[in-house]
Amino acid sequence: MATITPEIREVLTSGRLAHLTTINPDGSPQVSVVWIGLEGDDIAIGHLMGGRKVTNIARDPRVAITIEANGANPVGMKNYLIVYGTARLVEGGAPELLQRLATVYVGPGVKFPPFDNPPGGHVILVTPERFGGVGPWSS
């Protein structure tokens, strides 16, 4: 497991949309835009229904996540973070996670999911193995 520095933690909790990449059965990438949060040192993503990312992770847990970040390097390239990691699926808990993340992504007082009795779905927990991108986390 890679260490989440304060700079990385700031990006992961910034409320910026993230791009989760999983691996399709044919080896091609599948990308989903997701809300992210932290549960301990794991990145947490809620998903209410089944779907390609869930079936892909069940088959092959290797994932990558990208997030834009504040700042730029000395030559003007905007900062971004790449997380390479291993995902695991936890059945249930998605509505509660999404409600917590909605206050960050949508605003305080919002109800999300915006309907009664949502399915439990899945929480996707990603354990970071290494970081890349442009920013203070890159070597």
Q: Which domains does the chain have, with CATH numbers?
A: 6-134 (2.30.110.10)
Helix (H/G/I), strand (E/B), else coil: 68:
strand
- pLDDT tens digits, the chain, 139 residues: what are they? 899 999 999 999 999 999 999 999 999 999 999 999 999 999 999 999 878 999 999 999 999 999 999 999 999 999 999 999 999 999 999 999 999 999 999 999 999 888 888 888 999 999 999 999 999 998 6
Fill in the DSSP letter of residue 83. Answer: E
Alpha-carbon distance of 80 to 136, in angstroms, equals 10
Partners of residue 19 on adjacent β-strands: 33, 66
pLDDT of residue 139: 64
Whether the full predicted model's pTM is greater than 0.75, yes or no, is: yes
Radius of gyration in angstroms for the set of CA atoms belonging to the chain, rounded to a whole number: 15
3-state helix, strand, coil in the chain (%, to 5): 20, 40, 40
- CA torsion sign for 86, 48, 9, 125 is negative
- Per-residue model confidence (pLDDT) at position 96: 95
Contact 35, 65 (CB under 8 A): no
Q: What is the distance, to the nearest Å, from the Cα of residue 97 to the centroid of all Cα atoms in its chain?
A: 12
